[in-house]
Structure 1
C-alpha cells in the first residue's frame, strides 16, 4: 500500500508540470508612472499568485531587485541576475559643443522646448519633441547621440555633464547599464548563463538570462529592444530599432539551438503577432522564433493583449498588442493565460501593477 501511495504521489508531482511566468514589472523610475508606489503591491501579488519559475523584466534599480529577492526568498529560494555595470564612451569628452548647440542642434532644442519640465514630462519632451535634431546628431557623432539618449530621465545639466566630461567618457546605457532581468525559481537552479547583447543594444542594455533546472528544463528570460520609432531617433549600429531587435532574436536562437532538453523562451520580446482582436508589431521578427521550431499556444489559443489600452498606466490610445510571450521547444504547453492584470487603489488613485500584464503557462 505504501509503495502504491508513493507511486501515485510521484505521478501527481510529475503531471503537475512546470509553471512558468513572464512579467514586465515596469519599474522604470521616471519613465513608467508610480514605480516607487507600485513596488510593494507587485511584491504582494507575487507572493499571493505563484509560479515555479518567474522571468521578471524592468527591475532596473539594484535596490528594487534586492527588495524583491529578499521579500520572496522563502517562496523562491533560487535566483539569477547579473551585476549592474555601465559601458562608457572610449573618448572624452564624448561630445563637442558644436555637436549640441546652435540652430537645429539637439541641446538647443531641449533648452527651447523642454525648459521648466521635470521627471516624466521632461523625459517625454526630450524623446518626442527634439527627435529631428537627434537624427542629425546621430549622423554627425553617433556616440554623442547614444550618450545623450542614455541619460533618459536625468536633468539637462546632468546629461551635459556626462557628455562634456573631459576626464571620462559618457555612460552609453540608461539605468546604470543594467539589463533589468531577474529570474526567480522554486526549483533548484543547477546552471546559470547569460547571453550578452551589449554590442547589439542601444539606449537600454539587452541580454537573456538562462537557467537550467534540476528537473532538466532550460528557461531563457529576456527583454529585447523596443519599437521606439515614433518617439526617439535610432542611434545604434543597425538601420533601425526593428533590425536591432531582429539581430538579438537571431543571436538568441543560435545560442539556444545547442540545447536538446525542454526549452522555455520567455520574456518581453517587443514584437507581436496580429490576431483577430490584436494588432501586430514587428511580426516577422516574432515569426523567426516559430520558424525555429518553437510553439506559442497563447497566440493560437488564448490571444489577449499584454500591453493594453485598458491598463490604467497606459494612454487610452495605446494599441492592444501581445509583446510578452512564452515560447517552448521539445515540450508541451498547458493552460496559457494572462496574469497580473488586477487593479488596486493607492491614495484614491486606481492603477495597475505595471504597464504590462503577465503571461503564465504550464510546461510538460
Structure 2
C-alpha cells in the first residue's frame, strides 16, 4: 500500500518541457566572383523568408543594396536583424591619385586578365603593398566587388568617378532572427587591429532571448596556391592560418564569459571527414575545439559544405566542411539535430549558392512559472492526501 508521503513525492516530480531553437548558417555567395550572382538573387529573396531557422547567419551579401533587399524580403518572417550600417554615399570610394598609382603598380608587376587575381597578387605577394594600402578599404572593396550594376569591374577607374550610383559595400554579414534580440554588436576585425583586407572582415553578435549569445562571422579564405603568402596590413600575419587564429582569439577575448555562446558562419577551416572530405586549416579548427566548442554537424551530418559536385564552385580542388554552428562543449548535450541545407538545384540549373547551409537544432529547458508550479504541486498534494485518506478508511 502506498503511503501518504510516497504519493506526495511521486506527484511533486513535475518535469519541465523542452523548446528548441534552430540555428542556421549560410554563405549565399552574392558577389561577382561566384557564377550567376545576379540571377540567383531573386531565388534567395524568395527562399530565405521560408527558412525554418529561428536565427539565421548569412554571409556574402556584400552590397548594401542586396542587404537591404534581404532585410525587406524577410521582415515578416524575421522581424529582428543585425547588420553593419554603412551609410551609403554617392562619393566615389577611390581617390584618383592613389588609385592611378596602385593600378600602374598592379598592371606592371601582376599582369592578368582577372582583376581579382591581380589584386591578390599585389596584396599577398607584397608587390604593391604600400600602393594598395594607400587606396584604403573602401576603394579595395569597390575594385573587387564593384557597384550594384556592374559587379566585378572591368574598368577600375570607374571607382573614382561620380556616376551617381550609391557606392556602399559591407562586411557581407546579416544576422536575422524570429526571436527578440538585445545588446547587438556590428564590428570589424580590421577596426581592432588596423588591417586592410580585400574584403572587409567582421562579425555581428546579439543576445537572443531565452537562448544566449550568438556570433555571426566570416573568416578569411585560403587563396589557392597562396595559402602561406604574407598578409597585407599594418599587423603582419605570416599566413592566412595565423590571421584566422588571431580573429578567433579576438572573439574569445570579447565573448568567452558568455554562456551559452554560439559561433556561426563560414570559417574557412574544418576537419577531414572520412575519405570524402578534406581538411582545411585543421589546426585552426582544433584551436576552436580547444577553446571549448564543438561543431555538431561534423558527426551528425559528416558532409562537405563547399563541394566539388556544386556547379557554382569555381575554386578549390577538394570537398571541405568549412561552415559551422559551433556550440560550447558544456552545452553540446542540448543539441537535438543537425542537417545540411539548400542542396536543391534551381530552375536556372544551379543551387542557391556555391556553399550549402548548416542547421543545428538546440534544445532549451523551459523554466516553469513558480506560482503555477506551486499550484500544480498543491493540487497534487490534495489528491495524494485524499488517496491516502481513502486507503486509511479501507484499512
Q: Do the aligned partners of 1:17 and 1:363 also contact (CA within 8 Å) in 2?
A: yes
The structure 2 residue matched to 1:226, chosen from 221, 233, 243, is: 221
Q: Do the aligned partners of 1:85 and 1:177 also contact (CA within 8 Å) in 2?
A: no
| Mapped partners of 1:335, 1:40: distance in 2 | 30
Query: Structure 2, unaligned stretches of length 5 or more?
Result: 1-13, 145-151, 364-395
Task: Tell me what 2:133 maps to.
Answer: 143
Query: Structure 1, unaligned stretches of length 5 or more?
Result: 1-7, 115-121, 166-174
Deviates more, 1:262-271 or 1:300-309: 300-309
Task: Tell me what 1:295 maps to.
Answer: 294
Alpha-carbon distance change, 62 to 136 in structure 1, aligned in 2, over 3 angstroms: closer
Find the structure with the greater CA-based Rg: 2
Deviation, 1:94, is 3.0
The structure 2 residue matched to 1:202, chosen from 191, 197, 200, is: 197
Task: Tell me what 1:213 maps to.
Answer: 208
Q: Do the aligned partners of 2:270 and 2:320 also contact (CA within 8 Å) in 1?
A: yes
| Mapped partners of 1:320, 1:177: distance in 2 | 30
| Mapped partners of 1:79, 1:100: distance in 2 | 38
The structure 2 residue matched to 1:189, chosen from 173, 181, 187, is: 181
Q: SS of the residue aligned with 2:339?
A: strand
RMSD of equivalent CA atoms: 3.3
| TM-score of the superposed pair, with normalisation by structure 2 | 0.72
The structure 2 residue matched to 1:269, chosen from 262, 267, 270, is: 267
Q: Does 1:73 align with 2:85?
A: no
Q: SS of the residue aligned with 1:299?
A: helix
| Mapped partners of 2:355, 2:93: distance in 1 | 32
Q: SS of the residue aligned with 2:24?
A: strand
Deviation, 1:145, is 7.6
Deviation, 1:93, is 3.8
Deviation, 1:254, is 1.6
Deviation, 1:79, is 0.8
| Mapped partners of 1:90, 1:36: distance in 2 | 24
Q: Do the aligned partners of 2:300 and 2:339 also contact (CA within 8 Å) in 1?
A: no
Q: Do the aligned partners of 1:196 and 1:208 also contact (CA within 8 Å) in 2?
A: yes
Alpha-carbon distance change, 179 to 127 in structure 1, aligned in 2, over 3 angstroms: same
Deviates more, 1:182-191 or 1:44-53: 44-53
Q: Do the aligned partners of 1:32 and 1:355 also contact (CA within 8 Å) in 2?
A: yes
Deviation, 1:220, is 0.8
Task: Tell me what 2:107 maps to.
Answer: 107
| TM-score of the superposed pair, with normalisation by structure 1 | 0.78
The structure 2 residue matched to 1:126, chosen from 118, 124, 141, is: 118
Q: Does 1:178 align with 2:170?
A: yes
Q: Do the aligned partners of 1:208 and 1:220 also contact (CA within 8 Å) in 2?
A: yes
Task: Tell me what 2:257 maps to.
Answer: 258
| Mapped partners of 1:133, 1:202: distance in 2 | 10
Number of residues of Structure 1 aligned to a counterpart in Structure 2? 324
